[in-house]
Amino acid sequence: MGKRSSKVNSPKNKARKNNSLKKSTVQALFYLSAILWLLYAVYIVLDMSAVKNTGMSVIAVAFFLVVNAGAMLASGIFIMKVQKWTYYFALGVAFLNVLLALTSLVDYFFVIALILDLLILLVLFGLRKSYQ
């Protein structure tokens, strides 16, 4: 009898590798989204400052954009942990971000953010069974 190869690609191993790839992909998408929101925060603050719009409005807008970027960054970090709450946290952040992007589809940035968030949701839905 011949020896069985120790590198047999069982369906379980393939699923594990596939989930690992999906997790890395969604993590990268979360990081990309966080970077985009931070860049947009800088742009908005500079734009508002250029038109002499100072005070609490600039601080409020910058604060909420940075919080959004932070939530995306946290989701990217937490998604690699296989815990139920990390999945639902990331799902909630992505869903809220889709709603945020839908508020201003006239701007190209929000169209890009919407597409990115929909990709994140798509990959997250594919990972649902790994977190149950």
List the structure tokens of 72.
């995306």
Domain assignment present for 126 = yes
Q: What is the pLDDT of residues 98-115, one digit of tens each?
A: 998 888 778 888 899 999
Domain assignment present for 9 = no
| Residue owning tokens 């992909």 | 25
Q: How far is CA 2 from CA 5, 7, 10, in A?
A: 9, 14, 18
Domain assignment present for 64 = yes
The phi and psi torsions of 5 (rounded to 5 degrees) equal -70, 140
Domain assignment present for 111 = yes
Q: What is the pLDDT of residues 84-96, one digit of tens each?
A: 999 999 999 999 9
Q: How many domains does the chain contain in total?
A: 1
Domain span holding position 63:
19-131
User: How confident is the model at residue 62, as a pLDDT?
Assistant: 87
Alpha helices in 3-129 (DSSP H): 11-50, 56-78, 84-102, 108-126
Is the whole-model pTM more than 0.95?
Answer: no
Domain assignment present for 2 = no
Average pLDDT over residues 55-82: 90
